[in-house]
């Protein structure tokens, strides 16, 4: 049996005027933010699903139901910390993570270093093992028309 397992996650949230926008645990200055039960951090939600998926532990909705008042407006780093704990309990550690944030606006290039650094802190792995990519929605569909923001994440975990 190989000690390695991969996991995939994605997430999408509606954008609404005047709400804060969190990406990778970093608050990004923007006119709109994710309309969600928690803080709507799409990249952290996708990360949790990728971690759980890699370990065969289901998905974020099973662990943190979005109709549970305990998770109203909660910082998504709590979900990440819990997912990491579950992996550690089962003898897994995170090897690396690759991510894509899909947003038409704001321009994410200036924010990528801060997001990468914060994710390396949250995930407790060196920054070289965290990659953050950004794409626009090519001005088509809900992402391209700034109605939604989304993220995709792949992780590799290793049995230690």
Binding site for Mg ion (CB under 5 A): 11, 45
* Separation between Cα atoms, residue 39 and residue 124, nearest integer Å: 21
* Closest distance of CB 116 from Mg ion, Å: 20
* Closest distance of CB 61 from Mg ion, Å: 9
Nearer Cβ to Mg ion (59/139): 59
* Closest distance of CB 159 from Mg ion, Å: 28
* Closest distance of CB 67 from Mg ion, Å: 13
Nearer Cβ to Mg ion (64/92): 64
Instruction: Determine whether 36 is exposed, middle or buried from the number of CB atoms within 10 Å of its CB (0-12, 13-18, 19+).
Output: buried
Residue closest to 11 by CA, chosen among 78, 82, 102: 102
Q: Give the 3-state secondary structure of residue 28.
A: strand
User: For Mg ion, which residue has the nearest CB?
Assistant: 45
Q: Which residues of 63-75 are buried (b: 16+ CB within 10 A; e: fewer)?
A: bbeeeeeebeeee
Nearer Cβ to Mg ion (73/88): 73
Nearer Cβ to Mg ion (45/111): 45
């Amino acid at each position: 049996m190989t000690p390695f397992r991969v996991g995939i996650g994605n997430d999408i949230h509606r954008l609404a005027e005047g709400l804060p926008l969190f990406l990778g645990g970093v608050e990004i200055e923007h006119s709109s933010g994710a309309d969600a039960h928690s803080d709507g951090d799409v990249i952290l939600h996708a990360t949790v699903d990728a971690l759980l998926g890699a370990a065969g532990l289901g998905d974020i909705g099973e662990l943190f139901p979005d109709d549970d008042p305990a998770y109203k407006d909660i910082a998504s780093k709590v979900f990440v910390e819990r997912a990491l704990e579950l992996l550690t309990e089962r003898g897994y550690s995170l090897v690396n993570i690759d991510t894509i944030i899909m947003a038409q606006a704001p321009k994410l290039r200036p924010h990528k270093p801060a997001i990468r650094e914060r994710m390396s802190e949250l995930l407790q792995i060196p920054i070289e093992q965290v990659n953050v990519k950004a794409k626009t929605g090519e001005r088509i569909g809900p992402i391209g028309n700034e109605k939604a923001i989304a993220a995709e994440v792949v992780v590799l975990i290793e049995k230690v």
